[in-house]
């Protein structure tokens, strides 16, 4: 860190070591996590019958929570397109009906489906580096999701690209310069193999 530069090290693990069973044992969830099972009026309509039915269909026959999260995220990624008009509403139900939204719509719908399936989930806002994404060199604000696994904790996913991990272009906290003039985000890669 200097007056003109901040170096961030972002590590990614693409495998989540979870054995959390599905359905989730609601009674075993910490009190502060239980709120992430509830609908949010106007944004996360996880109680809507269409969203409840789709969540049930996607979770049907699955035995592990990570499988359900992956099924939901894969469905959202396959069925929702990016709204290049930037004009559509991006609450969960509108995204479900329109089949198109900005990143916030992808995240809101994924969270609503997970909550409808009984999996705690929340939307996360952060900064996105430009490499591989259609954002300027100074980065851009982006929404993704976090899912709670009782044996691991909160795990991030990007419903536009990944399930149960996010890549190093996602800067989740502590980077307030995102999108500001004069900011440049450069990514370097360091592959570490675990033995």
Quick one: three-class SS letters along the chain?
A: CCCCCCCCCCCCCCCCCCCCECCCCHHHCCHHHHHHHCCECCCECCCCHHHHHHHHHHHCCCCEHHHHHHHHHHHHHHHCEECCCCCCCCCHHHHHHHCEECHHHHHHHHHHHHHHCCCCEEEEEEEECCCCCCCCCCCEEEEEEEEEECCCEEEEECCCCCCCCCCCCEECCCCCCCCCCCCCCCCCCCCCCCC
Q: Residue 1: its pLDDT value, please?
A: 58
- On average, the pLDDT of the chain sits at 84
pTM for this prediction: 0.84
pLDDT band at 78 (very low <50, low <70, confident <90, very high): very high
For the ranges 12-26, 28-42, 70-84, which has the lowest average pLDDT? 12-26
Whether the per-residue pLDDT at 174 is higher than 60: the answer is: no
Tokens 């992956």, residue located: 70
Calculate the alpha carbon distances from 194 to 14, 34, 177 in Å: 12, 34, 33
Q: Are 156 and 168 in contact (CB under 8 A)?
A: no
pLDDT band at 17 (very low <50, low <70, confident <90, very high): confident
User: Residue 80 corresponds to which tokens in the numbers above?
Assistant: 């929702």
Reported as a single tens digit per residue, the pLDDT across 100-154 is 999 999 999 999 999 999 999 999 988 777 665 555 555 667 799 999 999 999 9
Residue of 54, 80, 68 whose CA lies nearest to 22: 68
User: Residue 43 corresponds to which tokens in the numbers above?
Assistant: 């944004």
Whether the per-residue pLDDT at 191 is higher than 50: the answer is: yes
**Dihedral angle at the C-alpha atoms of 161, 17, 123, 176, nearest 10 degrees?**
-80
Residue of 91, 108, 85 whose CA lies nearest to 160: 108
């Amino acid at each position: 860190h200097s007056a003109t530069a901040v170096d961030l090290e972002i590590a990614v693990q693409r495998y989540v070591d979870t054995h959390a069973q599905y359905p989730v044992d609601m009674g075993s969830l910490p009190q502060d996590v239980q709120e992430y099972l509830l609908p949010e009026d106007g944004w996360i309509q996880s109680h809507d019958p269409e969203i409840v039915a789709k969540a049930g269909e996607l979770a049907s026959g699955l035995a592990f929570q990570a499988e359900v999260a992956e099924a939901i995220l894969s469905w959202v990624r396959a069925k929702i397109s990016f709204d290049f008009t930037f004009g559509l509403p991006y609450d969960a139900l509108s995204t479900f009906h329109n089949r198109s939204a900005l990143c916030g719509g992808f995240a809101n719908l994924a969270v609503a489906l997970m909550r409808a399936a009984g999996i705690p989930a929340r939307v996360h806002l952060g900064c996105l580096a430009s490499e591989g994404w259609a954002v300027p060199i100074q980065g851009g604000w982006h929404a993704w999701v976090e899912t709670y696994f009782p044996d691991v904790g909160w795990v991030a996913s990007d419903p536009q690209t990944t399930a149960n991990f996010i890549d190093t272009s996602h800067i989740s906290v502590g980077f307030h310069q995102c999108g500001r003039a004069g900011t440049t985000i450069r990514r370097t890669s360091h592959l570490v193999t675990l033995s």
